[in-house]
Chains A and B, each alone.
Chain A
Amino acid sequence: MNLRKNIQKDSIKIIIPSDFIYLKIIEDVFWEFLKINKLLQKIKADEILLAIVEGVVNAIKHGNNNDLKQDVSFFLFLEKKYLNIIIKDKGKGFNLKDLKDPTKGKNLTNKNGRGIFIMKNFMDKVNYNFSSDGTELHMRKEIL
Protein backbone atom coordinates (compact mmCIF):
# COMPACT_ATOMS: atom_id res chain seq x y z
CA MET A 1 0.00 0.00 0.00
CA ASN A 2 1.35 3.44 -0.88
CA LEU A 3 0.74 5.17 2.44
CA ARG A 4 1.81 8.59 1.23
CA LYS A 5 -0.82 8.48 -1.50
CA ASN A 6 -3.55 7.58 0.98
CA ILE A 7 -2.79 10.11 3.68
CA GLN A 8 -4.46 13.51 3.42
CA LYS A 9 -2.17 16.34 4.39
CA ASP A 10 -3.54 16.85 7.86
CA SER A 11 -5.71 13.84 8.65
CA ILE A 12 -5.98 10.11 8.16
CA LYS A 13 -8.53 7.53 9.21
CA ILE A 14 -7.95 3.81 9.00
CA ILE A 15 -10.01 0.84 10.11
CA ILE A 16 -8.42 -2.44 11.14
CA PRO A 17 -9.84 -5.80 12.23
CA SER A 18 -9.30 -6.70 15.89
CA ASP A 19 -5.98 -8.46 15.48
CA PHE A 20 -2.65 -7.25 16.84
CA ILE A 21 -0.89 -8.00 13.57
CA TYR A 22 -2.52 -4.86 12.15
CA LEU A 23 -0.71 -2.64 14.66
CA LYS A 24 2.14 -2.46 12.16
CA ILE A 25 -0.13 -0.66 9.69
CA ILE A 26 -1.04 1.93 12.31
CA GLU A 27 2.62 2.43 13.18
CA ASP A 28 3.56 2.87 9.50
CA VAL A 29 0.72 5.34 8.98
CA PHE A 30 1.77 7.31 12.06
CA TRP A 31 5.40 7.67 10.91
CA GLU A 32 4.34 8.62 7.37
CA PHE A 33 1.86 11.17 8.73
CA LEU A 34 4.62 12.79 10.80
CA LYS A 35 6.96 12.89 7.80
CA ILE A 36 4.35 14.44 5.50
CA ASN A 37 3.52 17.09 8.07
CA LYS A 38 7.17 17.68 9.03
CA LEU A 39 6.50 16.90 12.68
CA LEU A 40 9.34 14.52 13.41
CA GLN A 41 11.44 17.17 15.16
CA LYS A 42 8.50 18.84 16.86
CA ILE A 43 7.07 16.08 19.01
CA LYS A 44 8.26 13.12 21.03
CA ALA A 45 7.16 10.65 18.40
CA ASP A 46 8.27 7.50 20.24
CA GLU A 47 6.18 8.40 23.27
CA ILE A 48 3.11 9.27 21.21
CA LEU A 49 3.45 6.03 19.25
CA LEU A 50 3.60 4.07 22.50
CA ALA A 51 0.40 5.82 23.69
CA ILE A 52 -1.27 4.97 20.37
CA VAL A 53 -0.21 1.33 20.55
CA GLU A 54 -1.48 1.06 24.13
CA GLY A 55 -4.81 2.58 23.05
CA VAL A 56 -5.22 0.27 20.06
CA VAL A 57 -4.18 -2.82 22.05
CA ASN A 58 -6.80 -1.97 24.68
CA ALA A 59 -9.42 -1.43 21.95
CA ILE A 60 -8.68 -4.81 20.37
CA LYS A 61 -8.27 -6.76 23.60
CA HIS A 62 -10.70 -5.21 26.06
CA GLY A 63 -13.07 -3.31 23.73
CA ASN A 64 -13.60 -5.89 21.03
CA ASN A 65 -12.43 -9.00 22.90
CA ASN A 66 -10.16 -9.90 19.96
CA ASP A 67 -13.27 -10.49 17.84
CA LEU A 68 -12.10 -10.27 14.22
CA LYS A 69 -15.58 -9.29 13.12
CA GLN A 70 -15.34 -6.10 15.17
CA ASP A 71 -13.28 -3.24 13.79
CA VAL A 72 -11.09 -0.66 15.47
CA SER A 73 -11.06 2.82 13.94
CA PHE A 74 -7.96 4.99 14.18
CA PHE A 75 -8.19 8.68 13.35
CA LEU A 76 -5.18 10.98 13.38
CA PHE A 77 -5.56 14.68 12.66
CA LEU A 78 -4.01 18.08 13.18
CA GLU A 79 -5.96 20.92 14.70
CA LYS A 80 -4.20 24.20 15.32
CA LYS A 81 -1.11 23.31 17.35
CA TYR A 82 -2.32 19.90 18.46
CA LEU A 83 -1.93 16.37 17.21
CA ASN A 84 -5.19 14.55 17.91
CA ILE A 85 -5.86 10.84 18.04
CA ILE A 86 -9.20 9.07 18.24
CA ILE A 87 -9.43 5.29 18.66
CA LYS A 88 -12.86 3.65 18.52
CA ASP A 89 -13.94 0.16 19.42
CA LYS A 90 -17.29 -1.57 19.89
CA GLY A 91 -16.90 -2.23 23.59
CA LYS A 92 -19.24 -1.16 26.36
CA GLY A 93 -16.50 0.70 28.15
CA PHE A 94 -15.39 0.55 31.74
CA ASN A 95 -15.38 2.53 34.93
CA LEU A 96 -12.36 4.82 35.03
CA LYS A 97 -12.55 4.72 38.82
CA ASP A 98 -11.66 1.02 38.69
CA LEU A 99 -8.23 1.81 37.27
CA LYS A 100 -5.48 1.37 39.79
CA ASP A 101 -2.18 3.20 39.94
CA PRO A 102 0.29 0.52 38.74
CA THR A 103 3.18 2.15 40.58
CA LYS A 104 1.65 1.76 44.03
CA GLY A 105 1.90 -1.14 46.47
CA LYS A 106 0.61 -4.52 45.35
CA ASN A 107 -0.27 -3.09 41.92
CA LEU A 108 3.43 -2.94 41.09
CA THR A 109 3.50 -6.66 40.40
CA ASN A 110 0.26 -6.75 38.37
CA LYS A 111 1.06 -8.00 34.91
CA ASN A 112 -1.57 -5.75 33.29
CA GLY A 113 -3.00 -2.31 33.83
CA ARG A 114 -0.18 -0.04 32.68
CA GLY A 115 -1.52 0.97 29.25
CA ILE A 116 -3.76 3.86 30.25
CA PHE A 117 -1.23 5.00 32.83
CA ILE A 118 1.41 5.24 30.08
CA MET A 119 -1.00 7.08 27.80
CA LYS A 120 -1.79 9.64 30.48
CA ASN A 121 1.87 10.27 31.14
CA PHE A 122 2.91 10.67 27.52
CA MET A 123 -0.07 12.65 26.22
CA ASP A 124 -1.40 16.07 27.25
CA LYS A 125 -4.99 14.92 27.31
CA VAL A 126 -6.62 11.47 27.52
CA ASN A 127 -10.41 11.11 27.58
CA TYR A 128 -12.76 8.19 27.15
CA ASN A 129 -16.31 8.56 25.83
CA PHE A 130 -18.67 5.64 26.29
CA SER A 131 -21.90 5.28 24.30
CA SER A 132 -24.22 2.62 22.92
CA ASP A 133 -22.11 2.65 19.73
CA GLY A 134 -18.96 1.74 21.58
CA THR A 135 -15.97 3.38 23.22
CA GLU A 136 -13.97 6.33 21.94
CA LEU A 137 -10.54 7.21 23.23
CA HIS A 138 -9.44 10.80 22.56
CA MET A 139 -5.82 11.78 23.04
CA ARG A 140 -4.09 15.07 22.30
CA LYS A 141 -0.51 16.29 22.24
CA GLU A 142 0.73 19.83 21.73
CA ILE A 143 3.12 20.35 18.82
CA LEU A 144 6.14 22.37 19.90
Chain B
Amino acid sequence: MTNLDYNINIDKKSGVAVVIFSGSIDINNKDKILQIVKNRLVPENKQFVLFDLNNLQYIDSSGLGIFLTARSILDKHNGDLGLVVTDKNIKKILNLAGFNKIFKIFDTSREGCRKLK
Protein backbone atom coordinates (compact mmCIF):
# COMPACT_ATOMS: atom_id res chain seq x y z
CA MET B 1 0.00 0.00 0.00
CA THR B 2 2.63 2.48 -0.95
CA ASN B 3 0.91 4.44 -3.72
CA LEU B 4 0.18 7.98 -2.63
CA ASP B 5 -0.97 10.68 -5.02
CA TYR B 6 -1.90 14.24 -4.25
CA ASN B 7 -3.10 17.50 -5.74
CA ILE B 8 -2.73 20.93 -4.19
CA ASN B 9 -5.44 23.53 -4.68
CA ILE B 10 -5.29 27.00 -3.22
CA ASP B 11 -8.64 28.45 -2.15
CA LYS B 12 -8.65 31.94 -3.64
CA LYS B 13 -10.87 33.50 -1.00
CA SER B 14 -9.18 32.18 2.16
CA GLY B 15 -5.70 31.39 0.84
CA VAL B 16 -5.92 27.97 2.49
CA ALA B 17 -3.97 25.23 0.70
CA VAL B 18 -6.03 22.08 0.19
CA VAL B 19 -3.99 18.94 -0.36
CA ILE B 20 -6.19 16.20 -1.78
CA PHE B 21 -4.68 12.78 -1.14
CA SER B 22 -5.57 9.52 -2.82
CA GLY B 23 -4.17 6.03 -2.28
CA SER B 24 -2.50 5.10 0.98
CA ILE B 25 -0.49 6.83 3.67
CA ASP B 26 1.78 4.33 5.38
CA ILE B 27 5.24 3.80 6.76
CA ASN B 28 6.77 3.53 3.29
CA ASN B 29 5.55 6.86 1.98
CA LYS B 30 4.79 8.99 5.03
CA ASP B 31 7.83 11.22 4.46
CA LYS B 32 6.24 12.44 1.23
CA ILE B 33 3.74 14.30 3.41
CA LEU B 34 6.51 16.17 5.19
CA GLN B 35 8.18 17.00 1.91
CA ILE B 36 4.94 18.57 0.67
CA VAL B 37 4.68 20.70 3.80
CA LYS B 38 8.37 21.64 4.10
CA ASN B 39 9.33 22.01 0.45
CA ARG B 40 6.15 23.23 -1.21
CA LEU B 41 3.69 24.80 1.20
CA VAL B 42 5.83 26.58 3.79
CA PRO B 43 8.18 28.21 1.21
CA GLU B 44 5.08 29.61 -0.51
CA ASN B 45 3.74 30.97 2.77
CA LYS B 46 0.90 28.50 2.79
CA GLN B 47 0.81 27.83 6.50
CA PHE B 48 -2.93 27.16 6.73
CA VAL B 49 -3.45 23.75 5.21
CA LEU B 50 -6.23 21.23 4.82
CA PHE B 51 -5.50 17.57 4.18
CA ASP B 52 -8.48 16.23 2.25
CA LEU B 53 -8.63 12.51 3.04
CA ASN B 54 -11.90 11.70 1.32
CA ASN B 55 -10.18 9.80 -1.51
CA LEU B 56 -7.76 8.04 0.80
CA GLN B 57 -8.10 4.26 0.94
CA TYR B 58 -5.81 3.47 3.84
CA ILE B 59 -3.80 5.03 6.63
CA ASP B 60 -1.71 3.38 9.34
CA SER B 61 -0.38 4.73 12.64
CA SER B 62 2.77 6.03 10.93
CA GLY B 63 0.54 8.21 8.78
CA LEU B 64 -1.28 9.47 11.85
CA GLY B 65 2.04 10.36 13.46
CA ILE B 66 3.12 12.31 10.41
CA PHE B 67 -0.02 14.46 10.58
CA LEU B 68 1.10 15.54 14.04
CA THR B 69 4.56 16.37 12.73
CA ALA B 70 3.09 18.31 9.82
CA ARG B 71 0.88 20.27 12.17
CA SER B 72 3.87 21.10 14.41
CA ILE B 73 5.74 22.50 11.41
CA LEU B 74 2.79 24.65 10.36
CA ASP B 75 2.25 25.74 13.95
CA LYS B 76 5.83 27.06 14.08
CA HIS B 77 4.89 29.26 11.13
CA ASN B 78 1.76 30.45 12.94
CA GLY B 79 -0.45 28.26 10.82
CA ASP B 80 -2.62 25.22 11.34
CA LEU B 81 -3.52 21.88 9.79
CA GLY B 82 -7.12 20.74 9.42
CA LEU B 83 -8.44 17.44 8.12
CA VAL B 84 -11.30 16.88 5.71
CA VAL B 85 -12.89 13.46 5.97
CA THR B 86 -16.26 11.82 5.68
CA ASP B 87 -15.14 8.28 4.80
CA LYS B 88 -16.32 6.23 7.75
CA ASN B 89 -13.34 3.87 7.79
CA ILE B 90 -10.74 6.63 7.80
CA LYS B 91 -12.82 8.61 10.28
CA LYS B 92 -12.98 5.58 12.57
CA ILE B 93 -9.19 5.34 12.64
CA LEU B 94 -8.82 9.07 13.29
CA ASN B 95 -11.34 8.94 16.11
CA LEU B 96 -9.74 5.83 17.54
CA ALA B 97 -6.45 7.72 17.73
CA GLY B 98 -8.21 10.60 19.46
CA PHE B 99 -7.56 12.95 16.53
CA ASN B 100 -11.12 14.26 16.76
CA LYS B 101 -10.00 15.86 20.04
CA ILE B 102 -6.92 17.62 18.71
CA PHE B 103 -7.53 18.35 15.02
CA LYS B 104 -10.14 20.49 13.36
CA ILE B 105 -12.01 17.97 11.23
CA PHE B 106 -14.40 19.06 8.49
CA ASP B 107 -16.83 17.31 6.17
CA THR B 108 -15.88 19.38 3.12
CA SER B 109 -12.93 21.43 1.93
CA ARG B 110 -15.25 24.40 1.47
CA GLU B 111 -16.24 24.29 5.14
CA GLY B 112 -12.61 23.85 6.15
CA CYS B 113 -11.46 26.84 4.10
CA ARG B 114 -14.06 29.00 5.82
CA LYS B 115 -13.34 27.82 9.36
CA LEU B 116 -9.66 26.84 9.61
CA LYS B 117 -8.16 30.27 10.12
B97: chain A residues at CB < 8 Å are 102-103, 114, 117-118
Residues 7-34 of chain A: 1 if any B CB is under 8 Å from the residue's CB, otherwise 0?
0000000000000110110010000000
Given contacts A46-B89, A111-B65, A115-B61, contact A20 B98 (CB under 8 A): no
- Smallest beta-carbon distance A120→chain B, Å: 10
Q: What class of interface size applies to chain B in its complex with A?
A: 20 to 34
- Give chain A residues whose Cβ lies under 8 Å from the Cβ of B69: 111
Given A108-B98, A121-B96: A54 touches B68 (CB 8 Å cut-off) = no
Which secondary structure characterizes the binding site on chain A? helix
In the assembled complex, the Cα of A104 lies from the Cα of B97 at a distance in Å of: 10
- Are A53 and B26 also in contact (CB < 8 A) when A24-B2, A46-B58 are? yes
A-B contact count (CB 8 A): 57
Interface residue range, chain A: 20 to 34
List 3 A-B pairs, minimum CB-CB distance, nearest first: A103-B98, A111-B65, A114-B61
Chain B residues at the A interface, C-beta cutoff of 8 Å: 1-2, 26-28, 58, 60-62, 64-66, 68-69, 89, 93, 96-98, 101-102
Q: Which residues of A contact B (CB under 8 A)?
A: 20-21, 23-24, 27, 46-47, 50, 53-54, 57, 102-104, 108-112, 114-115, 117-118, 121
A sample of 16 cross-chain residue pairs with beta-carbon separation below 8 angstroms, ordered by A number, consists of A20-B28, A23-B27, A46-B89, A53-B60, A57-B60, A102-B98, A103-B96, A103-B101, A108-B98, A108-B101, A109-B68, A111-B66, A111-B69, A114-B64, A114-B97, A121-B96
